[in-house]
Structure 1
Amino acid sequence: MWSGLAVATLAAVYAARGVFGVRGRAVAVFVVIANIAAVLCTAWLALEATRTTQKGLVWLLSAGSERDARHRPLLQVVDIYPDREMSGVESLAGPDQLLLEAERRRRVAVAGWGLSREQLRGVGAAAIERFDAAPQPVGISRLDWPERVREGSPLRISGNVAGVDRGRIRVLLGDLELGIAATDPGGEFELDLLAPLPGRYVLDLQVVDENDALVDRGPLPLQVFAVPRLNVLALAASPSFSWRYLANWLSDNGAGLLLRTRVSQEHFLEQRHNVAADLTAQDIDEDTLAAFDIVVADSEAWSRLAAAARERVERLVRDQGLGLLLLTDDVSGAAREALPELAPGLAEALPRSDRHLRFADWNPLPAIDLPALAITGAESLWEDEDGMAVAAFAGSGTGRIGLALRLPVYRWVTAGESDAYARYWQHLLAAIARPQPARLTSQRSSRIPFVGMRLELCFDAAVNPEVELVGPDAATVALPMYRRATGACALLWPYAPGWHGLRNGDETDFFYVYTSSDWRGLQVAERIAATGESTGERAESPAGTTWNLPPQLVFSVLLVILGLLWWEQKRRPVRLVKPEPDGA
């Protein structure tokens, strides 16, 4: 802008001198002022041209940039997406070249999809003064999913698709379609599935438009862990369909179960699956309780249990992490008095019919009738549509005590909604049961690592620093570890796509490495975000054209202008005429 203003000033001075033909001293004064202005503008323009060329703003063109070689000075950043090679433009192939150029230029602007975090480290201390972000490419621009899940647990895949109207998302495992979801007008989508059998999978996520034409696709790695066998001690005050369906579901899923049902004042019926423990009539000893992860009892059976047995269960909840889940539909004072001291509270409420159960943002469970009760003063596990808890838990030492309304959820099974029944009970039991030992996991510097990308892996402080990397070809190499305040870390540059394992003793943590052509939209979104954070501002499109002229052209134009001024001065010499006195 200032260069254009200087040139316009010179042109205006020259035009004014040719237009104003006033004779006398005024002409001489104007000529002197015009020449001084021309010399000052010439010097300033030359200084600006030199400064802009040597220490001025240099454009780094990343992939997706629409700038061309007319915008000087500029450099092309060649990375994993070299969209084009421009003739006469210097290319920078790595962070080292970026660092050298940034140290020389000091002022940097970026156009296109931005720089990777590694390239941003290469820019170093240079200030990125401007970022002209190119539009996001068509396809997946955001993708969220749990990389590690337990078998049978809910699996939600969500994200955003850019540039596709009325698109659909398909998830396939081989030729088997696991699910399909449509995008909303903003491109957002959510797809809820159930985790398959234990193992490592690479799902195929596809994006198709309204004509079923493929727009984008990529791998979706998933690790499914086997659910550790849950050992359940169930105490029922009387036989019922609810206990029968629960026992069948637990045994079908490989859980250990001991169900003791009172059939008379002094007689009990015991049903066992995968356990060998025995119970006495009214008491439960500590050794027997140690074999179970959770005690599930209805309020009547709990209240009729010996006081010593109840106290023993509560102590193991506090000290050893045993879980306790009580089921009730009784509003009597005796039922409330039998609740453990740290259990959630009960409150009377109006009976509700055909109410869907919800938890967080999960898909709601089918409608069911609810009793005239609500649970208060605890962390909710299932709620009705009005936000009133029907199942909740409270912490007690190292364990948890849960309270749930006794609901006829077995009717979901008879109505063909077995998945809803499984979700209900799986969430209840997993939240309250004795916690399982934590698995070895690592924190990665990038959630979606690509081949050749610098990747930092960190483990918690308890991990032995002797970690081996197992590649997709089963080759093993020891990782050199270094210590940080949060634990042990290692650096690596994956050389091949596929599953990689981090072996530490008997445990192995797996992660997936993508090819450079996978999920282009996700890579672009990460680069735009990283460059925007380094810049402090983002421009969705170029705000205008910056004219950075080469010095040879600038000096040539200035010499022509000065020559014209000299020639015009010689052609019309100024003669100073003494003014005649008035009245002569």
Structure 2
Amino acid sequence: MTYSLPTPLLPFWLVLALCALLAVGLSVSALRRANRSRRGWRFGAGLLAVVGLWLLAFPPSQPLRSTATDALLLTDGYSADTLRQLLRQLGPGTRFWRYAAPSASPDTSTLSNVAALRQRIPGLQRVHVLGQGLPAANLPELGSVRLTMHSSGPQAGFRNATWARTTQVGKTWAIDGFFDNAGATGAVWVRLRAAGGLRDSVQLPAGRGAFRLQFTPKTEGRAVYELDARTAAANGLRVTPEPLPLDVLPARPLRVLLLAATPSFEFRFLKDYLARQGHSVALRVGLSRGLTQTEFLNQSAAEVGRLTPALLGHTDVVLADAASLAAVSGAEAGALQAALRNGQSGLVLLADPAAALPRTLPARTDFALELQPAKAAQEPQELRWAVASPAKALVPATLRATPALRTLVTTLRRQPVAASRRIGLGQVVVATVAETFPWVLQGRTSAYAAYWSHLLSAAAPPIAPAANILPNDPWPRPNAPLTLRASGLPMAPITVRAATGQPVRVALQQDERVPEWAEGTYWPSTGGWHRAASGGTTSWFYVFRQRQWQGPETQLRQQAAAQWIAQTQSQTQPALAATTNSRPWSRWWGFGLFLLGAGLLWLEEKL
């Protein structure tokens, strides 16, 4: 503890004279008391009151060791133990701030601009960042100041998650991620809530690990699903739900040509299902030799007797059984091969295990059938595909897996029953399951829809890229710069508008590497859905709030900090410039001593 005379000296001498007079007066009063047994008590109480009054006016100062070259910056999730350890190492007088968050205590200053540190500490050489870290966009504000990270341990929550931000009605949508329970034990349930209810869940027996959840949206529009985690115990872990924004688009209408050698329930049910889904369907069924029947749904009548370039130019997917494809002529096979290579049409073949694959099948040598044993072929087997619930069907044959094929559907023993092969820009799909219509009779319409959507999507030609406006950052945040990339649009400003607030115009600059791209910087001020528009093009993107998805945000900040340290800083550590500052005692000490002494004097007089 140190003590120095205040400047100016006049108040000091006045207070000193007042305390001296008070001490003399209280001493004389104590000597005049008739009861001599309590004189010492009265002398001590008077002295305590005088000392308290003096400390209240002029408290002493305590020396504090600090560094003039280092500063501490506290971010979300920092450890108090790490802060105390650094203060012991650097000195208790080292200055620290809380970054971009309301202060939790009145003596912790808040700082929202990293560049302001260099103005507050002119000799600043190193910044210690505790907790989550700084956003990547704020790291250049450090300039030549060194950065040292002090990350906290892992916390319970979702470390990362990926999902498609857009999907189509009727298509199965999935989310993949990793949950970490921060070293705790016990099983954890990860759950997906969508469309007003619990749609899927998975149990992690170890309390941590990768997970995959799925759901099939049935209505179009923008929605925000929820992902949460909890333990089975009533008082166990409860993780705050995280939002899953999803823009559900209308289903893509396909133009499908069905070719069947004979009437069958499979094609009848499939025709009706595709028509109900809004697809254009043309059906050609052989009735007898030289006699065929045609039917058209959601489209006008057309000539479908032969596979011509004109017909295939207006067809997205040709779905045929083995007998009908084997009956096409050489010219028709050539037209189909050309349509596949040009990316105009795709082909789905329902193989017949009783016969070899048609010679007119493109890339026929890459597909090889393997017959199932008689007993296995007569028992329904469970089928699995990428993002759908299992269903059972008769599997008379399977496909031989080769590097040229992409497996679409398998049995439980991972035997392919449907696979695709690229031919030029198109796809050929071969399936060995002959009957799926029993699923409709059994009420398993969702499995039926998912199965055929999976096969038709694999065979359908790709959609030509359309003009769009997308954010480059998968985790946009309020009050942080967000780069918007416009593709296929003229060089004109785009208009961005949140759910609440005024529209903001964002200027675009052409990308130097890809002329078709243009980028602009937008600063969102609030969370939620945002609409970006330019001319007749409209896109939607979601801005997450500050406390949402902290796990992926922490990883991004730590990765950005590691890259910044590796790129801009050498291994040489700057020398610490130790300084000594003084911090005055709290005046409450003097006030408390004064009240204690005055109270004892009052009590002694009443006794």
Identify if the C-alpha distance between structure 1 residues 548 and 384 changes in structure 2 by more than 3 Å, giving closer, same or farther. Answer: farther
Answer yes or no: is 1:500 the counterpart of 2:530: yes
TM-score (norm 2): 0.72
Provide the residue aligned with 1:401 in structure 2.
428
Answer yes or no: is 1:301 the counterpart of 2:324: yes
- State the Cα distance separating 1:231 from its structure 2 match: 1.1
- CA deviation profile, 1:545-567 (whole Å, cap 9, x unmatched): x99964469xxxxxxxxxxxxxx
Does the Cα contact within 8 Å between 2:281 and 2:298 map onto a contact in 1?
Answer: yes
For residue 224 of structure 1, give the secondary structure of its aligned residue in structure 2: strand
Provide the residue aligned with 2:222 in structure 1.
200
Match of 2:397 among 372, 383, 386: 372
Provide the residue aligned with 1:321 in structure 2.
344
Equivalent AA in structure 2 for residue 123 of structure 1: L
Provide the residue aligned with 1:422 in structure 2.
449
Identify if the C-alpha distance between structure 1 residues 136 and 381 changes in structure 2 by more than 3 Å, giving closer, same or farther. Answer: same
For residue 510 of structure 1, give the secondary structure of its aligned residue in structure 2: strand
Provide the residue aligned with 1:235 in structure 2.
259
Where do 5+ consecutive residues of structure 1 fail to align?
A: 1-50, 538-545, 554-584
Equivalent AA in structure 2 for residue 59 of structure 1: L
Identify if the C-alpha distance between structure 1 residues 489 and 370 changes in structure 2 by more than 3 Å, giving closer, same or farther. Answer: same
Does the Cα contact within 8 Å between 1:118 and 1:454 map onto a contact in 2?
Answer: yes
Cα distance in 1 between the residues matched to 2:96 and 2:221: 44
Provide the residue aligned with 2:40 in structure 1.
none
Cα distance in 2 between the residues matched to 1:268 and 1:531: 69
- State the Cα distance separating 1:507 from its structure 2 match: 1.8
Cα distance in 2 between the residues matched to 1:195 and 1:174: 8
Equivalent AA in structure 1 for residue 518 of structure 2: A
- State the Cα distance separating 1:355 from its structure 2 match: 4.0
Match of 1:530 among 560, 565, 579: 560
Does the Cα contact within 8 Å between 1:343 and 1:401 map onto a contact in 2?
Answer: no
Cα distance in 2 between the residues matched to 1:348 and 1:243: 24
Where do 5+ consecutive residues of structure 2 fail to align?
A: 1-64, 568-574, 583-607
Equivalent AA in structure 2 for residue 323 of structure 1: G
Answer yes or no: is 1:384 the counterpart of 2:411: yes
Answer yes or no: is 1:449 the counterpart of 2:449: no
Identify if the C-alpha distance between structure 1 residues 519 and 356 changes in structure 2 by more than 3 Å, giving closer, same or farther. Answer: same
Provide the residue aligned with 1:267 in structure 2.
291
Provide the residue aligned with 2:74 in structure 1.
61
Provide the residue aligned with 1:187 in structure 2.
208
Cα distance in 2 between the residues matched to 1:455 and 1:100: 27
Does the Cα contact within 8 Å between 2:353 and 2:369 map onto a contact in 1?
Answer: no
- State the Cα distance separating 1:430 from its structure 2 match: 0.9
Identify if the C-alpha distance between structure 1 residues 331 and 378 changes in structure 2 by more than 3 Å, giving closer, same or farther. Answer: farther
Match of 1:95 among 111, 114, 121: 114
Identify if the C-alpha distance between structure 1 residues 174 and 235 changes in structure 2 by more than 3 Å, giving closer, same or farther. Answer: closer
- State the Cα distance separating 1:373 from its structure 2 match: 4.2
Does the Cα contact within 8 Å between 2:100 and 2:112 map onto a contact in 1?
Answer: no
- CA deviation profile, 1:196-229 (whole Å, cap 9, x unmatched): 3111112233444434575302332110111121
Provide the residue aligned with 1:337 in structure 2.
359
For residue 464 of structure 2, give the secondary structure of its aligned residue in structure 1: coil
Does the Cα contact within 8 Å between 1:260 and 1:271 map onto a contact in 2?
Answer: yes
Which one is further off, 263-272 or 165-174? Answer: 165-174
- CA deviation profile, 1:75-129 (whole Å, cap 9, x unmatched): 4343344463473x6653213224657984333332222222133232233332x
Could you tell me the percent identity over the aligned residues?
24
- CA deviation profile, 1:283-324 (whole Å, cap 9, x unmatched): 234333332211111111011123322322222222352112
Match of 1:153 among 161, 171, 183: 171
Equivalent AA in structure 1 for residue 144 of structure 2: A
Provide the residue aligned with 1:512 in structure 2.
542
- State the Cα distance separating 1:525 from its structure 2 match: 4.2
For residue 539 of structure 2, give the secondary structure of its aligned residue in structure 1: strand
- State the Cα distance separating 1:521 from its structure 2 match: 4.3
TM-score (norm 1): 0.74
For residue 168 of structure 1, give the secondary structure of its aligned residue in structure 2: strand
Cα distance in 2 between the residues matched to 1:552 and 1:313: 86
- CA deviation profile, 1:6-30 (whole Å, cap 9, x unmatched): xxxxxxxxxxxxxxxxxxxxxxxxx
Equivalent AA in structure 1 for residue 530 of structure 2: H
- State the Cα distance separating 1:432 from its structure 2 match: 1.0
For residue 115 of structure 1, give the secondary structure of its aligned residue in structure 2: coil
Identify if the C-alpha distance between structure 1 residues 134 and 203 changes in structure 2 by more than 3 Å, giving closer, same or farther. Answer: same
Provide the residue aligned with 2:153 in structure 1.
135
Cα distance in 2 between the residues matched to 1:75 and 1:330: 78
Match of 1:124 among 128, 131, 143: 143
Cα distance in 2 between the residues matched to 1:470 and 1:273: 41
- State the Cα distance separating 1:409 from its structure 2 match: 2.4
Which one is further off, 158-167 or 422-431? Answer: 158-167
Cα distance in 2 between the residues matched to 1:514 and 1:120: 21
Equivalent AA in structure 1 for residue 208 of structure 2: G
Cα distance in 1 between the residues matched to 2:160 and 2:433: 41
Cα distance in 2 between the residues matched to 1:193 and 1:280: 37
Does the Cα contact within 8 Å between 2:406 and 2:420 map onto a contact in 1?
Answer: yes
Equivalent AA in structure 2 for residue 357 of structure 1: L
Equivalent AA in structure 1 for residue 189 of structure 2: R
Identify if the C-alpha distance between structure 1 residues 167 and 102 changes in structure 2 by more than 3 Å, giving closer, same or farther. Answer: farther
Identify if the C-alpha distance between structure 1 residues 383 and 218 changes in structure 2 by more than 3 Å, giving closer, same or farther. Answer: closer
Kindly report the root-mean-square deviation, in angstroms, between the aligned alpha carbons of the 2 structures.
Answer: 3.3
Does the Cα contact within 8 Å between 1:412 and 1:418 map onto a contact in 2?
Answer: yes
Does the Cα contact within 8 Å between 2:398 and 2:416 map onto a contact in 1?
Answer: no
- Which structure carries more relative contact order (alpha carbon 8 Å, separation 6+)? 2
For residue 234 of structure 1, give the secondary structure of its aligned residue in structure 2: strand
- State the Cα distance separating 1:453 from its structure 2 match: 1.4
Does the Cα contact within 8 Å between 1:232 and 1:257 map onto a contact in 2?
Answer: yes
Identify if the C-alpha distance between structure 1 residues 260 and 161 changes in structure 2 by more than 3 Å, giving closer, same or farther. Answer: same
Does the Cα contact within 8 Å between 1:336 and 1:346 map onto a contact in 2?
Answer: no
Does the Cα contact within 8 Å between 1:141 and 1:162 map onto a contact in 2?
Answer: no
Identify if the C-alpha distance between structure 1 residues 329 and 438 changes in structure 2 by more than 3 Å, giving closer, same or farther. Answer: same
Equivalent AA in structure 1 for residue 535 of structure 2: G
Which one is further off, 403-412 or 242-251? Answer: 403-412
Does the Cα contact within 8 Å between 2:189 and 2:202 map onto a contact in 1?
Answer: yes
Cα distance in 1 between the residues matched to 2:527 and 2:181: 26
Equivalent AA in structure 1 for residue 79 of structure 2: S
For residue 78 of structure 1, give the secondary structure of its aligned residue in structure 2: strand
Identify if the C-alpha distance between structure 1 residues 133 and 442 changes in structure 2 by more than 3 Å, giving closer, same or farther. Answer: same
Cα distance in 1 between the residues matched to 2:169 and 2:458: 16
Equivalent AA in structure 2 for residue 319 of structure 1: N
Provide the residue aligned with 1:257 in structure 2.
281
Answer yes or no: is 1:463 the counterpart of 2:489: yes
For residue 426 of structure 1, give the secondary structure of its aligned residue in structure 2: helix
Does the Cα contact within 8 Å between 2:225 and 2:245 map onto a contact in 1?
Answer: yes
Provide the residue aligned with 1:278 in structure 2.
302
Equivalent AA in structure 2 for residue 76 of structure 1: F
Cα distance in 2 between the residues matched to 1:458 and 1:524: 24
Does the Cα contact within 8 Å between 1:449 and 1:514 map onto a contact in 2?
Answer: yes
Does the Cα contact within 8 Å between 1:107 and 1:126 map onto a contact in 2?
Answer: yes
Equivalent AA in structure 1 for residue 166 of structure 2: R
Equivalent AA in structure 2 for residue 232 of structure 1: V
Which one is further off, 408-417 or 197-206? Answer: 408-417
Cα distance in 2 between the residues matched to 1:259 and 1:225: 28
Answer yes or no: is 1:79 the counterpart of 2:93: no
- State the Cα distance separating 1:259 from its structure 2 match: 1.3
Provide the residue aligned with 1:7 in structure 2.
none
Equivalent AA in structure 2 for residue 155 of structure 1: W
Does the Cα contact within 8 Å between 2:340 and 2:427 map onto a contact in 1?
Answer: yes
Does the Cα contact within 8 Å between 1:298 and 1:328 map onto a contact in 2?
Answer: yes
